[in-house]
């Protein structure tokens, strides 16, 4: 039966799968800690037998056995370290895809989770599993064993060891109570300062052009100063705790040696037993001292565990959807409503519309009417809309992204090209089909531009990004969207940055898609694109006011436009 702790979340259950590996770590810890008694036994033999008998052979044999024990102990410690490293790697391999998908979903849904920290949290957990801190937790249960052996040597020193161990445990507890919250606050303050700078670097050009860097730097100084104050306070308290723990440890070892010397003087203990008891006392307190020393990484990993646990709980692994046939491209929208927090009226309000397969639909409307939100809902990237978007009768969310993606082309308003070559970006980072890449580039009119680069299609976007104009980036994004002739093409303001030649290439690409029987949804403000439309949908205030054949909608719009002009003229 799985314990409740290991049954509470995906992350906990994943850790539970490593129970056998941790059991072996415990076994090797047992071997290593038992053999840690070898130096004590060696001292007792040397002082109790060799020194009295003067036998060199006995000394040789005892030393030989001691070296053998050391070899086995070192091998056991190496094996347990090796197993912990393997556990960390396997944990990462088991969770990295879950963390990636959860982070992706969280960012897509604008979650409050700090997505940039998710992979760092996973790294913190992995690093803690392979560091000295976790080994200290495996060694700490052996403290009572060492104290028991001290009892066998001297009940007085054994009692003294219990007192010292309790003091050390209280120091560890005090360290936890006093430093955990400060460590968390310092870490969060540092992350906030880092995120602030990173967010501003993404928009460095307008910041530099408009002289905003000084003002933003002042704000960063406030965040950074708060981070430094919290970090200084946290480090100061941690160092005080560590210094206090070290003082107590050395004092207790010396007091143990002094108490043993007193017993030797009184004839109640041998010199060998005195030294052996002191060594055992040092060994008994060492794990507790290591726990104090590694408390900060432990708190960081515990905090990371909690954050990652919440992220994976809120965004669990998606169940595999059903298998679909390749879509024809019919889109039906039923009672689609989209609301956002902080806004009274919905962005989209009970939209009912159907776009037949193989048609070119142009969506018009003023800014803020909900056109881009409608596009996001059609391609299935808007989180949790009310109502339904159906592709060939199946809800868009019922499709696996890997299954639907090749049949869907999407060009958002904000064109984002990714680190990699031009060919990889056009091919959507799948296996590159050179003929399809070149075809998509030709249809969008950028083939010659790409060939003008020294490395052609192998040019890295990082290198070419500075050389590409807004229109070229938009056409490159369009080439990515039409790569592979998807059944559905959704283009949001595709001609916003295009010149006359670029717009001709766009109209040619739309015409090619229409001739191939593909569904094209065009969101635009420019009337020049209307010539390519089969259907026109007019949006206003989150609703579709008109939708129908191009000529009918345009004819219906003319009286309204004339009336508006007359009112403005008067």
Beta bridge partners of 460: 421
Per-residue exposure over 429-455, b if at least 16 CB sit within 10 Å of its own CB, e if not: eeeeeeeebbbbbbbbbbbebbeebee
What value, to the nearest 5°, has the Cα angle with vertex 213 and ends 211 and 215? 95
CATH superfamily of 331-557: P-loop containing nucleotide triphosphate hydrolases (3.40.50.300)
Q: What is the pLDDT of residue 491?
A: 92
The residue that leads in pLDDT, 414 or 245, is 414
Task: Tell which phi-psi region holds residue 420, choosing left (phi > 0), alpha (psi between -120 and 50) or beta.
Answer: left
Handedness of CA 305, 311, 313, 318 (dihedral sign): negative
Q: Give the pLDDT confidence score for residue 119 in this predicted structure.
A: 77
From CA 269, how far away is CA 119, in angstroms rounded? Answer: 57
CB 15 within 8 A of CB 244: no
Q: Per residue in 385-407, pLDDT tens?
A: 889 999 988 888 888 888 888 89
pLDDT digits (tens, 9 = 90+) for 460-502: 887 555 667 778 888 899 999 999 899 999 999 888 777 788 8
Q: What is the rounded average pLDDT of the residues 417-428?
A: 88
Q: What is the distance between the terminal CA atoms of the chain, rounded to a whole angstrom?
A: 82
DSSP-derived 3-state class of residue 412: coil
Residue 567 has what pLDDT? 37
Burial 288-307 (b: 16+ CB within 10 A, else e): bbbbbbbbbbbbbbbbbbeb
368: left (phi over 0), alpha (psi -120 to 50) or beta: left
In this predicted structure, which of 302-311, 418-427, 436-445 has the lowest mean pLDDT?
A: 302-311
Identify the three-state secondary structure at position 60.
helix
Q: Could you give the CA distance from residue 111 to residue 429 in angstroms, rounded to a whole number? A: 26
Q: What is the pTM of this model?
A: 0.66
> Is residue 81 helix, strand or coil?
helix
Q: How far, in Å, CA of 170 to CA of 285, rounded?
A: 13
The answer on pLDDT for 513 being more than 80 is yes
Locate the domains of the chain by residue range: 10-314, 331-557
Contacts 24+ apart (CB under 8 A), 53-60: none
Contacts for 556 with CB less than 8 Å, ≥ 6 apart: 546
Rounded mean pLDDT, 372-377: 90
Torsion of CA 360, 362, 363, 367, to 10 degrees: 140
Q: What is the pLDDT of residue 510?
A: 87
> What is the Cα–Cα distance from 423 to 438, expressed in whole angstroms?
9
**CATH of segment(s) 10-314:** 1.20.1560.10
Q: What is the mean pLDDT of residues 183-191?
A: 71
On the 0-12 / 13-18 / 19+ scale of CB atoms within 10 A, 174 is middle
What residue ranges in 401-553 does DSSP mark as E strands?
408-411, 488-492, 519-523, 535-540, 543-549
């Amino acid at each position: 039966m799985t314990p409740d702790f290991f049954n509470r979340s995906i992350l906990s259950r994943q850790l539970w799968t490593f129970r056998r590996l941790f059991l072996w770590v415990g076994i090797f810890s047992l071997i290593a800690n038992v053999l840690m008694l070898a130096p004590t036994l060696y001292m007792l033999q040397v002082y109790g037998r060799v020194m009295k008998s003067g036998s060199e052979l006995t000394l040789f044999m005892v030393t030989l056995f001691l070296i053998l024990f050391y070899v086995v102990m070192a091998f056991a410690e190496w094996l347990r370290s090796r197993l912990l490293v393997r556990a960390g790697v396997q944990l990462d391999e088991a969770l990295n895809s879950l963390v990636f998908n959860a982070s992706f979903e969280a960012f897509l849904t604008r979650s409050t989770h700090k997505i940039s920290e998710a992979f760092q949290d996973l790294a913190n957990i992995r690093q803690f599993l392979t560091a000295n801190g976790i080994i200290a937790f495996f060694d700490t249960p052996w403290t009572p064993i060492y104290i028991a052996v001290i009892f066998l040597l001297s009940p007085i020193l054994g009692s003294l060891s219990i007192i010292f161990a309790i003091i050390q445990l209280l120091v560890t507890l005090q360290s936890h109570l006093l430093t955990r919250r400060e460590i968390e606050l310092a870490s969060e303050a540092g992350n906030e300062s880092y995120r602030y700078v990173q967010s501003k670097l993404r928009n460095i050009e307008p910041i530099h052009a408009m002289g905003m860097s000084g003002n933003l730097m002042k704000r960063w100084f406030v965040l950074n100063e708060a981070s430094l104050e919290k970090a200084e306070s946290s480090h100061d308290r941690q160092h005080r705790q560590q210094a206090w723990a070290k003082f107590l440890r050395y004092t207790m070892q010396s007091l143990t040696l002094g108490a043993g010397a007193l017993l030797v003087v009184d004839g109640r203990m041998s010199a060998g037993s005195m030294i052996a008891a002191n060594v055992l006392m040092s060994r008994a307190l060492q794990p507790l001292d290591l726990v104090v020393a590694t408390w900060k990484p432990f708190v960081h990993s515990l905090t990371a565990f909690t954050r990652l646990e919440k992220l994976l709980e809120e965004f669990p692994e998606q169940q595999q959807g059903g298998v679909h046939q390749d879509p024809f491209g019919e889109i039906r929208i039923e009672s689609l409503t989209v609301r956002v927090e902080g806004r009274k009226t919905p962005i989209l309000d009970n939209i009912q519309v159907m776009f037949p397969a193989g048609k070119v639909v142009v969506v018009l409307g003023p800014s803020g009417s909900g056109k881009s939100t409608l596009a996001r809902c059609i391609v299935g990237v808007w989180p949790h809309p009310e109502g339904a978007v159906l592709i060939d009768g199946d809800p868009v969310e019922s499709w696996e992204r890997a299954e639907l993606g090749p049949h869907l082309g999407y060009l958002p308003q904000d064109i984002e090209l990714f680190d990699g070559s031009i060919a990889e970006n056009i091919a959507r980072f799948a296996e590159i089909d050179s003929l399809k890449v070149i075809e998509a580039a030709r249809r969008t009119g950028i083939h010659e531009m790409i060939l003008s680069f020294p490395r052609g299609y192998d040019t890295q976007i990082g290198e070419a990004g500075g050389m590409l104009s807004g229109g070229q980036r938009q056409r490159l994004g369009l080439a990515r969207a039409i790569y592979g002739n998807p059944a559905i093409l959704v283009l949001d303001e595709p001609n916003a940055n295009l010149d006359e030649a670029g717009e001709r290439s766009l109209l040619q690409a739309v015409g090619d898609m229409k001739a191939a029987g593909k569904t094209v949804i065009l969101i635009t403000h420019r009337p020049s694109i209307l010539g390519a439309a089969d259907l026109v949908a007019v949006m206003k205030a989150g609703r579709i006011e008109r939708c129908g054949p191009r000529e009918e909608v345009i004819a219906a719009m003319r009286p309204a436009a004339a009336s508006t002009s007359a009112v403005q003229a008067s």
